[in-house]
């Protein structure tokens, strides 16, 4: 493993800690991905627009995505402080949870990841058919190892 991608999920902090320890153990770089749905993006953008209007300034889309990245950065910083680990955070906007796998796979390609870490959710077969399963889609479509932790 030279470059790993770990998908930030508030419920998957144990997996992010493990990803950091494994990456540090093999001297790999770790990129933490902070995905944001278009709906979440629009909500943050609306809030920032209100603040910008009051401050007579302008916040661009990078600032909105930066909010998601900052949340992820703060959440993992303490877990990675004691590790000899080269890591950073990137963000992406996805259409909805059903398209999350595509965003993860695209980011993995962009950063040159050779290993992906992401949390999964146990769903019924009907739930998978209706909503999809991002972990399953990443496992089936990523050309490398994928480590998952079911919640």
Taking the C-alpha atoms of residue 1 and residue 99, their distance in angstroms, rounded to an integer, is 26
**What per-residue confidence (pLDDT) applies to 130?**
39
- Find out whether 8 and 19 touch, Cβ atoms under 8 Å: no
Residues facing residue 33 across a β-bridge: 7, 90
Q: What's this model's pTM, rounded to 2 decimal places? A: 0.82
Mean pLDDT of 44-67: 65
Structure tokens at 15: 């997996």
Domain range for 46: 3-150
56: left (phi over 0), alpha (psi -120 to 50) or beta: left
pLDDT band at 129 (very low <50, low <70, confident <90, very high): very low
The total number of structural domains that make up the chain: 1
Q: Report which of residues 2 and 95 the model is more confident about.
A: 2
Structure tokens at 1: 């493993």
Domain at 25, CATH number? 3.40.50.620
- pLDDT (tens digit, 9 = 90+) per residue, 71-97? 889 988 888 989 999 999 998 888 766
């Amino acid at each position: 493993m030279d470059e790993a991608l770990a998908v930030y999920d508030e419920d998957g902090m144990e997996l992010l800690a493990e990803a950091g320890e494994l990456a540090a153990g093999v001297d790999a770089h770790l990129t933490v991905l902070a995905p944001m749905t278009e709906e979440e993006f629009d909500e943050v953008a609306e809030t920032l627009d209100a603040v910008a209007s009051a401050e007579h300034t302008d916040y661009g889309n990078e600032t909105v995505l930066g909010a998601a990245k900052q949340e992820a950065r703060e959440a993992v910083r303490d877990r990675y402080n004691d590790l000899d680990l080269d890591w950073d955070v990137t963000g992406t906007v996805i259409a909805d949870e059903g398209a999350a796998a595509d965003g993860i796979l695209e980011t993995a390609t962009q950063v040159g990841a050779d290993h992906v870490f992401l949390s999964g959710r146990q769903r019924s077969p009907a739930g998978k058919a209706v909503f999809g399963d991002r972990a399953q889609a990443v496992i089936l479509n990523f050309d490398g190892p994928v480590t998952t932790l079911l919640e």
